Amino acid sequence: MALFLAGISVLAALLSGLAALAAGPNGPLRQGMPGWMEKPLFRILRENGRPAPGRFSRLARTIPFLLLGVSGGFSVAAGIIALLGGTTRTATLPLGLPWLNWHLALDPLAGFFFCVLGIPLIAASLFGPDYVREFECGKHTLSVLGLFTGLFVAGMELVLLADDAFLFMIAWELMSVASYFLVAYQHENAANRRAAFLYLLMAEIGAIAIILAFGVLAAFGGGLIFEELRNASPNPAWSSIAFVLALAGFGMKAGLVPLHTWLPEAHPAAPSHISALMSGVMLKIAVYGFIRFAFDLLSSVLWQWGVVVLLIGSASAVLGILYALQQQNLKRLLAYSSVENVGIIFTALGLALIFQSSGQSQLGTLGLVAALLHALNHALFKSLLFLGAGAILHQTHEQSLENMGGLIHRVPKLAALFLVGTLSIAALPPFNGFVSEWLFFQTALQAGSIQSGILRSLIPTASAVLALTSALAATCFVKVYGVAFLGLSRSRHIARARDVHHPGMLAGLALLAICCVLFGVLPTPLINALGALTQSLTGFVLPNISALGWLWLTPVAPEVAAYSPALVLLGTVAVGWLCYYLLYRRTGLEPRRAEPWDCGFGGLTARTQYTSGAFSMPIRRIFEPVFDTRETIEEQTEGPANTRVTKLRYQFQVLDRAWLVLYEPSGRAVTRLARWVGRLQTGNIRTYLGYSFFTLIVLLWVVS
């Protein structure tokens, strides 16, 4: 049943792309529709007594997103059944290679990530129809956007269903190539074309690494089916080679440092609902691929692998949030924040590998649960934030934090929903981001059970780095919400903004906000549902997770640590009500509204409040060696000998050192190589015939 529902979700995603193509300007719904059908539809699609733009524009917007919502609903249903059922369903399709059909399987691990995919997809399907309305009169058709969105979603779902390396790579490439066209959708912008090319280049390099990793296991297992790969027994050297290749390939797609530079370029370039799916879901598909390879396909685990993953994850977490703090573009800031959260996930996976290889199965399982839970939580709150950023862009046409301010007065509904996302990503209780990070710290605190003194010292150091990351993340999103929503408006667009009145956009945001609160307040049933998943990967189920009842979370043992998010929420509400009662009800005082204190300067203006750059300047000064900062100050003077300064203009730019150290030299080397190879193209037909002749001679010599 679960596999059947998953197949329907893939089919619905493909149909959404075909529906968008059919409803496009040159599609059969626009060109070949009979007149008897066109007239009733024309009447249905009227808006305010006038025909909708292009007659079928609403049809082109609604049907593809409706099918995407169906795909998301079936994905969640299939995932829940597979996760709770604890069994693996398999099927074989008569497609693929002559000697290798496509093998499908849905087990608890794939089922969990179907849920991770499905919930943001439902939210995006609700948000999308009203958001893409602005593209109707633009240079690009919605049919192209809808087609590649459907292929993108279908590719991600097929990756989760693949049970052989061949189908896995076909689905992986479908996901990557379709998302390339989505990043390049607004291709008239040179920055978008550059971002799309960089993304595709990095995706293909990562795909090559994944193919080589599968190839190493296939050489020892004798086939490409996952069951054959599980039975492979390579020696530790070849296992390590396969692991490093898989970490490079999946880590490149996930955005691990230093392979992350495509991510802050590509995610802001795509439409916002696509950015939400890329950051919230696609990065988790890469996490799924790594978990599948490291915890399922590899027959043994070495502690050295866990150390590598732990170090790379920690570096990604702290560098991602440091770079996010310095960004002025809201979507670019959120993209760098995804680097941070992926780093947290891989740090937890590194802990799981270390404990698993050391014979501490319970602690390894706890680290895996923390990683899985944070993958789900990040999918929820990051999708909420990207969709919220899209709503801000839709209402104000502004992306720069320096031009925002006072949005809480202009868009109060959006401000309330966006606040839930910022509190969740800042890991404040009782929201969902706190639970997964708390589980990570509970895992790390058990480092004393490991025999190796080096590991006992390394794990607390990584925990301290993650604690620093959490503090910086809270600072970052205080900056985001404070600068964007509080204070006074800094631009005319913001001052004239109106609240979101489209029910679909609000429903998509509200769905994700409710999930952030729900999974934060009631995490215990969700963690208990992961029992079959952890049993299949680590051979262990957390026994004490709800030893004190379903309201309490006891990851190790009740006497070690316990946390009740429901009681935290209840206590917060009770304290707030008590303060209100004592201050106002009991004393009879009424709240007084007055202008804020202006420090004697004669009234507050937008120019006297903190900017985004000023807020993050202390962090930039402290961590200055991490950044490549370029600051300029322009003075405008007048008077005798230009002694009076009349205007100052300060600008700063923070560049990613990974780009400067790794990518620019590589790009220059590739360009030089391409110019050298270009000399072969002489334009002379005799030269080309000579190339063909000598190539034929070499091939005949090799074959003979």
Encode pLDDT of 688-700 as tens digits. Answer: 888 888 888 888 8
The CB-based long-range contact list for 328-331 (8 Å cut-off, 24+ gap) reads 328/400, 328/401, 328/402, 328/612, 328/613, 329/268, 329/399, 329/400, 329/401, 330/389, 330/392, 330/399, 330/400, 330/401, 330/404, 330/480, 330/484, 331/267, 331/268, 331/272, 331/275, 331/386, 331/389, 331/399
Tell me the average pLDDT of the chain: 85
Give yes or no for residue 660 having a pLDDT over 80.
no
Give yes or no for residue 3 having a pLDDT over 60.
yes
The pLDDT tens digits of the residues spanning 285-297 come to 999 999 999 998 9
Max CA-CA distance within the chain? 101
Residue 487: both structure tokens together: 């204070």
Which phi and psi (to 5°) does residue 553 adopt?
-115, 115
* Helix 283-291, helix 165-183: angle, nearest 10: 160
Weakest-pLDDT range from 26-35, 300-309, 442-451, 616-625: 26-35
Is 603 strand, coil or helix? coil
Which phi and psi (to 5°) does residue 650 adopt?
-110, 130
Give yes or no for residue 37 having a pLDDT over 70.
no
The pLDDT tens digits of the residues spanning 98-141 come to 778 889 999 999 999 999 999 999 999 999 888 888 777 666 67
* DSSP tally for the chain: helices H, then strands E: 29, 6
The pLDDT tens digits of the residues spanning 382-421 come to 999 999 999 998 888 888 888 888 888 888 999 999 999 9
Is 649 strand, coil or helix? strand
Domain ranges of the chain: 620-655, 659-703
**Cα separation, 7 vs 64, whole angstroms:** 18
Host H or E run for residue 636: strand 628-638
pLDDT value at position 244?
94
The pLDDT tens digits of the residues spanning 246-285 come to 999 999 999 898 888 888 888 888 888 999 999 999 999 9
Contact between 422 and 392 (Cβ < 8 Å) = no
When pLDDT is averaged across residues 38-45 and rounded to a whole number, the result is 44
Give yes or no for residue 43 having a pLDDT over 50.
no
**Cα separation, 136 vs 636, whole angstroms:** 44
pLDDT value at position 185?
87
Of 391, 389, 394, 325, nearest in space to 134 by CA: 394
What's the pLDDT band for 55 if we cut at 50, 70, 90?
very low
**Paired strand residues for 400:** 329
pLDDT value at position 57?
61
Give yes or no for residue 243 having a pLDDT over 80.
yes
pLDDT value at position 676?
83
pLDDT value at position 78?
93
Contact between 183 and 195 (Cβ < 8 Å) = yes
Weakest-pLDDT range from 58-62, 89-93, 191-195, 352-356: 58-62
What one-letter code names the amino acid at 201? L
pLDDT value at position 39?
47
**Cα separation, 265 vs 259, whole angstroms:** 12
Residue 255: both structure tokens together: 């955005």
What's the pLDDT band for 152 if we cut at 50, 70, 90?
very high
